Structure 1
């Protein structure tokens, strides 16, 4: 029965497109943001299952669903580079769309964490992490390079999505630091190098880009309504940065004194709480005054908030202040609600073929 439903859904989606190849031709890079978001929701569900044990089962279902989504998306993503390379390269050089290309690499890094923490497969986790780390390193150079040499970049193009290409590096140590204790010799040394490169480069590039983004927020026009959800991306580097730093510190035997890093993580988390409140206020403002039409950027709500929710639970685990975990659990339900709404809207839009009609 389920198979028949899915088959009918796919048939209707194809009928909505002018050609079945429209799905490949117009397959925008941001699709993998849904894999990122679903993956971090699964991990957050495991963390907060202490409050509600059924969340363990929810996490497992989300994990398998996420794996299916990844492989369903990687096929048209790959075919697009083969069949429509001009379209793929045009997006790679676009001042806004290019920022979402690294989501495929970040999705693999998140899946690496999912396989380690939920699937209990260090081997598969290593594979996803390794490919994701290589991809993220490449995107972190290629996309900023095109931006640096471009003479078409304007202040209108600046948005928090710009964090993804370089700052996505900060996600590398989340799973990478869990892998370190399982390696030795040159592979251990290489993994340590990649992890610390990822966090160091990602964090300081975040600080640089943060100044540019805030400059745009204050001294330029508000973001277009279609890009309004990207305001939440500010939470991504903070939440992922806290998780990655804590994982690195706890899995690095050469760091004997860990408390200063814990305190810095707490401070960094505090900055995220300010951003969470601001993102909620700005979203309400857009809904009431400027509207908030559905689009693929809606997935920008999910991973950043999910990373912050997960980081909140880790901060609680160190300092044991119950109010911190209560905040995290409250934000978890906001995360779950936003994920469910976005997933439903994406499914409806896909059913009618809207994401594949060009951009």
Structure 2
């Protein structure tokens, strides 16, 4: 019905870049469901259903996203220069990278995965220069603008090697070398950018007023670089023949995973605080609950696969059900809001 829209073009004009976070979240839930189907076989069918749903969502979102740049370039550019919204622009590229992983793990189609990964990787490399460029040259960014959404660009870089490292063995010659370069460039630049931004965001948390309620779900985004970083590192190590001693990288993954446990607990505590003491109104930032938690859930299963400590997988499996519940609630609320046209009323 989209009854809250003044015209059908409001959908295009006000199509904010964060919509692709829904594709990211649905894609990682599909992968996590596939992983944990070892305990509950029916989850494999859930994974397949989510996989196909995710493909439909991606192309459905891609149409208004593209049309916005053609028909309303000033609005699209304004978001790219916005100190908060700009960080969500890379989600379109991350969505492609997540779909590449979906096609490899669930769809068993390396050929299609290559295309999604290639376009996603190129998009990620571009956005991770464009978004910081606008921030660096801006003279209007304030401490109020600092939020965990700033992690999204480095998260995208860390996602590059997740599917990319699985594609490396299927490439030869210069394409093989280029893929290796892009994967290691992605992890290296993404990880150290994340560390730099982590310090800035923690500074804001401690020495500035709390995040506005609308951005409260972004607290969970910190699990994104942790989970994605772990998965990417393990995949890179396992698919890089020149790394003969893998154990130090595995141990670092376990240490990084431990930090994720702390952040997951803190995110839960802070979310409860907002629900009880402040407020947590629905909005597109609710998708910030999903991909970061999903990446951490998937990383938990991979870390368990290396060290075989059941407690790790128990934690991951428990968080999987929290992930599924949050995804279901967010998906339903987004569908209802979209039906009534609320996300397209402008921002």
**TM-score scaled to structure 1, two decimals?**
0.96
Corresponding residue to 1:127 among 115, 126, 129 = 115
Following the alignment from structure 2 to structure 1, what is the Cα–Cα distance between the partners of residues 66 and 118? 19
- Ranges in structure 1 where 5+ consecutive residues have no aligned partner: 1-11
Corresponding residue to 2:292 among 283, 295, 304: 304
Deviation (angstroms), 1:17: 1.1
| Count of residue pairs the alignment pairs up | 347
d(CA) in 2 for partners of 1:137 and 1:186? 19
Moved more, 15-24 or 145-154: 15-24
Distance 1:165 1:51 in 2: 34
- Give yes or no for the alignment of 1:162 onto 2:142: no
Determine the structure 2 residue equivalent to 1:63.
51
**Residue 198 of structure 1: CA displacement?**
0.1
Deviation at 1:166, TM superposition (A): 3.2
What is the RMSD computed on CA atoms of the aligned residues? 0.5
Verify the 8 A CA contact 2:146 2:201 in the aligned structure 1. yes
Distance between the aligned counterparts of 2:153 and 2:169, measured in 1? 28
Could you say which residue in structure 2 is the equivalent of 1:293? 281
**Do 2:117 and 2:160's aligned partners in 1 also have CA atoms closer than 8 Å?**
yes
Given candidates 77, 92, 95, the residue that maps to 1:107 is 95
Deviation at 1:29, TM superposition (A): 0.3
Q: 3-state DSSP class of the match of 2:209?
A: coil
Residue 173 of structure 1 pairs with residue 165 of structure 2: no
Instruction: Give secondary structure in 2 for the equivalent of 1:346.
Output: helix
| 8 Å contact kept, 1:37–1:302 | yes
Q: Give 1:33's aligned residue.
A: 21
SS of equivalent to 2:107: coil
Residues of 1 paired with 2:213 and 2:51: CA distance?
31
Following superposition of structure 1 onto structure 2, how do residues 9-24 of structure 1 map, counting pairs within 5 Å? Answer: 12-13=1-2, 15-24=3-12
Alpha-carbon distance, 1:184 to partner: 1.2
**Corresponding position of 2:230:** 242
Structure 2 residue 218 is matched with structure 1 residue 214: no
Q: Does 2:301 match 1:351?
A: no
Tell me if the contact between 1:309 and 1:328 (Cα under 8 Å) persists in the aligned partners: yes
| Distance in 1 of aligned mates of 2:54 and 2:286 | 17
Q: What is the match of residue 117 of structure 1? A: 105
2:4/2:345 contact within 8 Å kept: no
CA contact (8 A) 2:148 2:219 kept: yes
Aligned-residue offset at 1:234: 0.3
Which of 213, 231, 238 is equivalent to 2:219? 231
Which position in structure 2 is the counterpart of 1:3? none
Q: 1:97, 1:200 → 2: CA distance?
A: 25
CA distance in 1, matches of 2:147, 2:181: 30
Query: What's the counterpart of residue 267 of structure 1?
Result: 255
Select the residue among 182, 188, 197 that pairs with 2:185.
197
TM-score by length of 2: 0.99
Q: Provide the C-alpha distance between the structure 1 equivalents of 2:286 and 2:18, rounded to a whole number of angstroms.
A: 10
Q: Name the SS of the counterpart of 2:62 in structure 1.
A: helix
Paired position in structure 1 for 2:310: 322
Q: How big is the shift at 1:312?
A: 0.1
State the secondary structure of the residue aligned to 1:278: helix
> Gaps spanning 5+ residues in structure 2: where?
none
The answer (yes or no) to whether the contact 1:141–1:166 under 8 Å persists in 2 is no
Q: After TM superposition, what 4+ stretches of structure 1 lie above 6 angstroms from structure 2?
A: none
